[in-house]
Amino acid sequence: VSYEGMVPGLTLRARPGETLRVRLDNGLGGQITNLHTHGLHVSPSGNSDNVFVHVEPDESFQYEFVIPENHTSGLYWYHPHHHGNSMQQVAGGMAGAIIIDGELNEVAGIAGLRERLLFLQGPFFGDDGIEYLVNGVQTPAIAMRPGERQCWRIANANANGYYLLSLSGHDFDIISLDGNPLPVPRREDTILLGPGERVGILVVASDAGQYQLRSLAWGDGAQQQDEFLLATAVVMGEPAASSLLPAAVLPLEDLTGAVIDQRRSISFEINSTDPYYTVNGQAFDPDRVDQVVQLGSTEEWLIRNESDEWHPFHIHVNDFQLMAVNGERQPPQYHDTVSLPPRGEIIIRLRFLDFAGKFVYHCHILAHEDFGMMAVVEVVDGDEAATPVAGSSLVEAPG
């Protein structure tokens, strides 16, 4: 299965304020499908990012995504989101990148850098055994000049697997997470990228030579993964003029001191009997609303992982600030997907802005999502002013 016969599908590029129109023709030969714009802050209703749409076999559906003027710039992606066969379709190759150009392209120290998209898919089972693809090919070469700083955008478009990224002899300077710029670059030597997540990084090429971009061995039990090669950075040619790492990327709205209108506790569970994958004890039901939220409100969610596996938590439409992981405060950063460690917990804060309607939050391991680890939130445009809830914050405001 694929979009237009291509793996990955065409990269869609747009700017804030533009409208993206996509006609989806279902030629899958018997399966229902639909289209989700992962990470875009667009309406979840009608013919926008509405995962409750069913596009039946041999039918077409005209999507229209109105991208707000103030949309963040970065890497997003599209993929099918029909409950029950998301995994089969995404694992088969149905996924593509969406790049929103804008502010990030203008930041001093980033503007003008050579840009690369690394769209990661796999595993596929080909003639050579298991294949992990980067932009549709196995182990491509990435050309760099000695000392050259490049800007890479990397997406994990796998249905189920993680990447623990490492480039031999090099560090990564992370500048964005899930299309959300970080205030300042963060240096790491490895990056754990769960299904659905994206990361924007700056990399400075070392001396001439070849350097392997790998996914290192990761995980335990059912999630244990071996190391594998993704690509090779080939550094050669005239050394590049040295460039400075930007001291700052772009500011974000820090919700640390925000007034919290509502607090919720969410748990992800794996059970030994049916239903096997649940959120707050229940398997997904598209006709049930699990959380009702006031439009414009700011909420704090405590999300617990009651299982021994990792689960990448994802919510549609509104990105969230990751406040704490296992009780440890996090520097200001926004995500649309973040991994829940086994038996661990995260605290997020999010604002339900601009769009009323129903959408979902779920585990982005599609083998879990398709078997029930998903729930529905409905944002309602109520008349009454939301009343801030009493009680102490789960996250203490500083000082």
Q: Which two tokens stand for residue 43?
A: 């309406």
Q: Which residue has the tokens 């969410």?
A: 266
- Site residue total, Cu ion (CB under 5 A): 4
Instruction: Please state the closest distance from residue 249 (CB atom) to Cu ion, in A.
Output: 30
Instruction: Please state the closest distance from residue 42 (CB atom) to Cu ion, in A.
Output: 25
Instruction: Please state the closest distance from residue 362 (CB atom) to Cu ion, in A.
Output: 8
Residue 315 interacting with Cu ion (CB under 5 A): no
When the beta carbons of 221 and 398 are compared against Cu ion, the nearer one is 221
Among 133, 365, 377, 395, which residue sits at the site for Cu ion (rule: CB under 5 A)? 365
Among 82, 311, 314, 316, which residue sits at the site for Cu ion (rule: CB under 5 A)? 311
The identity of residue 85, as a single letter, is N
Residue 363 interacting with Cu ion (CB under 5 A): yes
Residue 351 interacting with Cu ion (CB under 5 A): no
When the beta carbons of 41 and 368 are compared against Cu ion, the nearer one is 368
Between the alpha carbon of residue 100 and those of residues 84, 104, 175, the distances in Å are 29, 9, 15
Under 8 Å between Cβ of 109 and 124: no
Of 111, 99, 77, 75, whose CA–CA distance to 249 is shortest? 111
Under 8 Å between Cβ of 22 and 15: no
Under 8 Å between Cβ of 8 and 95: yes
Instruction: Please state the closest distance from residue 365 (CB atom) to Cu ion, in A.
Output: 4
Instruction: Please state the closest distance from residue 201 (CB atom) to Cu ion, in A.
Output: 25
Considering only 227-235, 244-252, 303-311, 344-352, which stretch makes contact with Cu ion by CB under 5 A?
303-311
Among 94, 368, 376, 377, which residue sits at the site for Cu ion (rule: CB under 5 A)? 368
Residue 374 interacting with Cu ion (CB under 5 A): no
Considering only 65-73, 222-230, 362-370, 386-394, which stretch makes contact with Cu ion by CB under 5 A?
362-370
CA distance 336 to 13: 19
CA distance 82 to 164: 28
Footprint of Cu ion on residues 28-57 (CB under 5 A)? none
Considering only 95-103, 236-244, 282-290, 310-318, which stretch makes contact with Cu ion by CB under 5 A?
310-318
When the beta carbons of 50 and 337 are compared against Cu ion, the nearer one is 337
Characterize the bridge pairing of strands 291-294 and 374-380. Answer: parallel
Between the alpha carbon of residue 265 and those of residues 79, 80, 157, 163, the distances in Å are 28, 28, 28, 28
Phi/psi for 332 (5° steps) reads -55, 125
CA distance 177 to 332: 11
Instruction: Please state the closest distance from residue 273 (CB atom) to Cu ion, in A.
Output: 17
Instruction: Please state the closest distance from residue 345 (CB atom) to Cu ion, in A.
Output: 15
Q: Residue 368 is inside which H or E element, if any?
A: helix 366-369
Residue 362 interacting with Cu ion (CB under 5 A): no
- Compute the Cα dihedral for 135, 120, 172, 338 and give only its sign: positive
Residues that bind Cu ion (CB under 5 A): 311, 363, 365, 368
